[in-house]
Amino acid sequence: MIIDVNKKNVKKVIRSTKKYINEDKIKYNIASDVDEKYKVELKNIEKAINIKNIEKRFNFIYDTVCDYLDSQYFGKNLCGFDENGVCEYYRKVDPTHYNGCCYREDRKLCEYFDEEHSVCTDRGISCKLYSCPVLRKKKIEYKVNDFPLLKYFFTFKQKLIIKYSLLKPKAYVMYKLMETVNEKK
């Protein structure tokens, strides 16, 4: 199925994603006047629809959203970490709390955090979507439904898994998502 997209209908086409999910194969024929942002979204939606294996599709969506979120944070120190490894939020509430959200309230460092290099060794999508009050005040906040790939390809229950699996690795989230698919069979 070929769908013509132009500047006028692009938002409507994206909103209609669910209508095309069960098509055998789709192709968006995108006019040059469509904004770059929407072109990228359509390219990703097209790819996701055309991946018929559900696990592979979820995997693609997961990685694509994580890549986007990483690109928004990378190299910007939006959490305002200082030289002691204390972020802006915890400087206010508890200056002895290192490594921000990766160091839990119960004083245990998340098992996926590499302390030597100060990085997450996994891809926790819920962690990447999370914004504390400090980030929200800076208008840095992402909702699951902000991403067409999450909004249109997942059920309500699956979205809850994506949002609330904080401190959990990708393998866990993927397992929980696939569990919901297998439940339906």
Secondary structure of residue 52 in the 3-state scheme: coil
Nearer to ligand SF4, 13 or 167 (CB): 167
8 Å CB contact between 42 and 28: yes
Nearer to ligand SF4, 83 or 183 (CB): 83
Cα angle 23, 44, 164; round to 5 = 100
Torsions phi, psi for 182 (to 5 deg): -70, -30
Residues 88-127 that bind ligand SF4 (CB under 6 A): 88-90, 100-102, 110, 112-113, 120, 122, 124, 127
**Of these, 14, 66, 132, 160, which contacts ligand SF4 (CB under 6 A)?**
132
**Of these, 49, 65, 129, 134, which contacts ligand SF4 (CB under 6 A)?**
134
**Of these, 13, 49, 87, 125, which contacts ligand SF4 (CB under 6 A)?**
87
CB of 84 to ligand SF4, least distance (A): 13
Q: What is the Cα–Cα distance from 145 to 59, expressed in whole angstroms? A: 18
Strands 113-114 and 119-120, bridge-based pairing: antiparallel
Nearer to ligand SF4, 121 or 155 (CB): 121
Nearer to ligand SF4, 12 or 107 (CB): 107
Q: Within 13 Å of residue 146, how many CA atoms lie on the same side as its CB? A: 11
Q: What is the Cα–Cα distance from 20 to 167, expressed in whole angstroms? A: 34
| Among 16-24, 87-95, 141-149, 155-163, the segment contacting ligand SF4 (CB under 6 A) | 87-95
Q: What is the Cα–Cα distance from 8 to 156, expressed in whole angstroms? A: 29
Secondary structure of residue 3 in the 3-state scheme: strand
Q: Which residue is nearest to ligand SF4 (CB)?
A: 100
Catalog residues that contact ligand SF4 under the rule CB under 6 A: 79, 87-90, 100-102, 110, 112-113, 120, 122, 124, 127, 132, 134-135, 167
